[in-house]
Copies of this chain bind each other. A is one copy, B any other.
Amino acid sequence: MAQYGVGGVKRNLPEPVVILADGNPPTHPAPLSTLQTANTLICTDGAGEKAKMLDRHPDFIIGDMDSHNKASLSHGTDIIELTDQNSTDLEKALDFCIQEGVVSATLLGLSGGREDHMLANFAILSGVSKKMKLSAVTDYHTVHPVSDKEDFSCISNSTVSLLTAHGQPTVTTTGLRFPLQDQCLLSSGHGVSNFAETDKFSVKVAGGIVLVFIRHGD
Q: When the two chains form their complex, are residues B119 and A187 in contact, meaning their CB atoms are under 8 A apart?
A: no
Q: Give Cα distance in the complex from A110 to B67, angstroms.
A: 27
Q: How far is the CB of A66 from chain B (nearest CB, A)?
A: 10
In the complex, which residues of chain B have a beta carbon less than 8 angstroms from the beta carbon of A181?
A: none
Q: Give Cα distance in the complex from A119 to B161, angstroms.
A: 11
Q: How many copies does the complex hold?
A: 2
In the complex, which residues of chain B have a beta carbon less than 8 angstroms from the beta carbon of A96?
A: none
Q: When the two chains form their complex, are residues A186 and B86 in contact, meaning their CB atoms are under 8 A apart?
A: yes
Closest B residue by C-beta to A194: B85
Residue A140 lies at the interface, judged by CB distance under 8 Å to chain B:
yes
Q: When the two chains form their complex, are residues A116 and B87 in contact, meaning their CB atoms are under 8 A apart?
A: no
Question: Which stretch (A4-12, A34-42, A101-109, A120-128) binds chain B?
Answer: A120-128
In the complex, which residues of chain B have a beta carbon less than 8 angstroms from the beta carbon of A192?
A: 88, 116-117, 120
Q: When the two chains form their complex, are residues A91 and B189 in contact, meaning their CB atoms are under 8 A apart?
A: yes
Q: Give Cα distance in the complex from A39 to B141, angstroms.
A: 37
Q: Give Cα distance in the complex from A187 to B140, angstroms.
A: 26
Residue A147 lies at the interface, judged by CB distance under 8 Å to chain B:
no
Residue A111 lies at the interface, judged by CB distance under 8 Å to chain B:
yes
In the complex, which residues of chain B have a beta carbon less than 8 angstroms from the beta carbon of A152?
A: none
| 7 CB-based A-B contacts, threshold 8 Å | A85-B178, A111-B115, A115-B141, A115-B143, A116-B141, A120-B189, A127-B187
Q: Which 4 A-B pairs give the minimum distances between C-beta atoms?
A: A88-B189, A123-B188, A116-B161, A116-B213
